[in-house]
Structure 1
Amino acid sequence: MALFNLADAADRLPHAWKSAILARSGDCNIKILKMDRQPYPDETHDYNEALIVVSGMLRLSVAGETIEVKAGDMYVAQAGVPHAVLEGSHGVLMIVDPVEDEC
């Protein structure tokens, strides 16, 4: 078993919005990234994606609605639904998504 300090893992990343895989569980990647208050453009996936805010806040635009995901909250971005990160998102984000779309 491995122990990770998520804030430290995010601090070691060289760039915001560039995730790193910390581990795999079954057919899922467990990733970490740091948010730097800058927006991130629309993404659409053919799989569900779990977005877990470790610290700070994630502001999303989904189908014209603003969704605020706070530390300790999880949002599941549904397959086929575009989602964009809005300005002001900051802190540490964990992402769980499939290894080759099998999660």
Structure 2
Amino acid sequence: MAASESQTPVSLSDRELQIIDLVAAGLTNQDIAAKLEISKRTVDNHISNILTKTKTDNRVALVRWALQWGKVCLNDVNCCPLPNQGEDTTH
């Protein structure tokens, strides 16, 4: 089994999930740092920790992992829209 296909759930912080979302959007570490108003070194550390936790080797494998586990939504791919509140879903 490939490392990116690990079946073990991973616990990620809100900040780590935010960074995964920005990686999936195609931002560089420098761009992520500017957007979140943190240092690039902090982003580098977060990315390193995320790769370790998810047992992925690089950003592409990380995005594949995030899609597999439903951690990101890209261009309406892997998105689960919620039913309308007024919509009857019983029939």
Give the TM-score of the pair, scaled to structure 1: 0.25
More strand by share: 1
More helix by share: 2
Give the TM-score of the pair, scaled to structure 2: 0.27
Q: Higher Cα Rg: structure 1 or 2?
A: 2
